[in-house]
């Protein structure tokens, strides 16, 4: 997933611009991965699903750095959850409703074409029925529980499973902060991260048989929460490690990027190595956490910052765009034409994500933040 715009450091200590660019890059690779077709000729795109774990690691780092010392009372918990809910929920609901509408609009358009004698251009695989969400799907989406293993498939907007799991990783993080402190809290982080990653590896091997089926670690609707918890709390541990250890940014970034590129190239031949991807992402997050080094300089550049600002919208809106692009892309032949379609797809996606950021994400996030702030201020006034 999912992304956060809270300051990665406690109030007054600045932000880590590299994380914004990192989220943007991750969203871009996930969007290219779901484009499929011949764009997947690049190994980094074929394995683009792994970048969801980069979202989780960054999120764990950011949330831990911003809130680990600010969650002490039930009032703090309410404010935290309102802010986190407000960050995720509005675009989740908007994109899901739009996804259902777009699916049904395409079915209607195909049926209208058939009525006019134009159906010969469609393949049998093009003919899907109307999408009518069941009550359980609606309720689970509104409660952000749809990615918590209660369905045997991805439902509605297929990428939103990670938004569900991330929200409940926030809840778990807050509970740990309220219940533990100091070394005990760090020990719980270690147990949660190790348990989550171990469960994900087990599910990959024994439930999804990834050594035969491929795409190890591509765990979503069933054990997605374990995947999220493993990488999220790895990010939290990375934050604490970054406070204790000085780093040589350029060397670590070179090692992390080299390792990640090598992993992508050998993933098909040695799929078990994919299980190391969260650790490589944690290394990269650690290496740019001081906003220095060559990779950090790239991620802090204007294009990556704009992409990062829109990364949640890019992530949530690209399945909607793919509803219309995928049938066309499937019929496109030739490297040049495919490249043109990919560029057009990304350009439209960036344009649309700019709109949803401006009119959905940003204003509604601020509205929820004001509610959380008002509650906190009211509580302080009553205590004074």
Q: Which of the residue ranges 1-10, 263-272, 323-332 would you say has the lowest mean pLDDT?
A: 1-10
List the Cα angle 72/82/99 in 5-degree steps.
145
In this structure, what DSSP letter does residue 134 have? -
Between CA 146 and CA 158 the distance in angstroms is: 10
Q: Is the pLDDT of residue 139 over 60?
A: yes
pLDDT at 330: 75
**What is the share, in percent, of the chain residues with pLDDT greater than 90?**
73
pLDDT at 149: 95
Its pTM stands at: 0.91
pLDDT at 346: 95
Per-residue model confidence as pLDDT tens digits over 64-94: 999 999 999 999 999 999 999 999 999 999 9
pLDDT at 374: 61
- pLDDT band for 384, please (50, 70, 90 cuts): very low
What's the whole-number mean pLDDT along residues 281-289? 96
Helix (H) or strand (E) holding 322: helix 311-331
Q: Is the pLDDT of residue 318 over 70?
A: yes
pLDDT at 39: 52
Q: Which of the residue ranges 105-114, 166-175, 252-261 would you say has the lowest mean pLDDT?
A: 105-114
Q: Which of the residue ranges 54-68, 84-98, 111-125, 327-341 would you say has the lowest mean pLDDT?
A: 111-125
Contact predicate 58/23, CB 8 Å: yes
Per-residue model confidence as pLDDT tens digits over 196-232: 999 999 999 999 999 999 899 999 999 999 999 999 9
- pLDDT band for 269, please (50, 70, 90 cuts): confident
Side-chain-side CA neighbours of residue 20 (13 Å) = 20
Q: Is the pLDDT of residue 43 over 80?
A: no
Contact predicate 287/253, CB 8 Å: yes
pLDDT at 3: 42
pLDDT: is 144 or 39 the higher one?
Answer: 144
- pLDDT band for 114, please (50, 70, 90 cuts): confident
Side-chain-side CA neighbours of residue 82 (13 Å) = 17
Q: Is the pLDDT of residue 288 over 50?
A: yes
In this structure, what DSSP letter does residue 301 have? S
Q: Is the pLDDT of residue 41 over 80?
A: no
pLDDT at 248: 87
Highest mean pLDDT among 102-106, 283-287, 369-373: 283-287
Q: Is the pLDDT of residue 271 over 70?
A: yes
Average pLDDT across the chain, whole number: 88
Contacts 24+ apart (CB under 8 A), 179-186: 185/68, 186/237, 186/240
């Amino acid at each position: 997933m999912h992304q956060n715009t809270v300051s990665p450091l406690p109030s007054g200590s600045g932000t880590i611009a590299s994380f914004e660019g990192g989220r943007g890059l991750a969203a871009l690779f996930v969007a290219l991965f779901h484009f499929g077709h011949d764009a997947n000729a690049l190994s980094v795109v074929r394995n683009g699903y792994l970048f969801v774990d980069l979202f989780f690691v960054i999120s764990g780092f950011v949330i831990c750095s911003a809130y680990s010392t600010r969650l002490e009372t039930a009032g703090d918990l309410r404010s935290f959850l309102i802010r986190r809910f407000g960050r995720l929920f509005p675009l989740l609901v908007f994109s899901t409703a739009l996804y259902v509408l777009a699916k049904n609009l395409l079915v209607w358009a195909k049926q209208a074409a058939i009525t006019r004698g134009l159906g010969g251009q469609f393949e049998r695989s093009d003919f899907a029925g109307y999408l009518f969400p069941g009550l359980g799907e609606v309720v689970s989406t509104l409660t952000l529980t749809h990615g918590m293993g209660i369905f045997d498939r991805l439902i509605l907007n297929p990428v939103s499973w990670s938004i569900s799991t991330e929200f409940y990783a926030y809840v778990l993080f807050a509970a740990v902060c309220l219940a533990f402190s100091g070394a005990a809290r760090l020990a719980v982080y270690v147990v949660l991260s190790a348990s989550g990653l171990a469960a994900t590896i087990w599910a990959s091997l024994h439930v999804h048989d990834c050594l035969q089926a491929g795409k190890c670690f591509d765990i979503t609707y069933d054990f997605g929460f374990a995947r999220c918890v493993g990488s999220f709390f790895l990010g939290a541990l990375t934050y604490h490690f970054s406070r204790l250890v000085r780093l040589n940014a350029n060397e670590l970034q070179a090692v992390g990027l080299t390792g990640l590129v090598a992993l992508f190239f050998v993933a098909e031949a040695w799929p078990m190595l994919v299980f190391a991807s969260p650790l490589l992402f944690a290394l990269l997050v650690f290496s740019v956490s001081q906003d220095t080094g060559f990779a950090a300089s790239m991620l802090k550049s204007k294009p990556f910052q704009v992409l990062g600002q829109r990364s949640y919208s890019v992530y949530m809106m690209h399945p909607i765009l793919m509803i219309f692009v995928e049938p066309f892309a499937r019929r496109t032949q030739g490297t040049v034409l495919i490249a043109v379609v990919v560029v057009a797809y990304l350009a439209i996606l960036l344009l649309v994500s700019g709109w949803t950021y401006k009119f959905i994400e940003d204003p509604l996030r601020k509205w929820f933040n004001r509610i959380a702030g008002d509650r906190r201020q009211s509580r302080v006034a009553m205590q004074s």
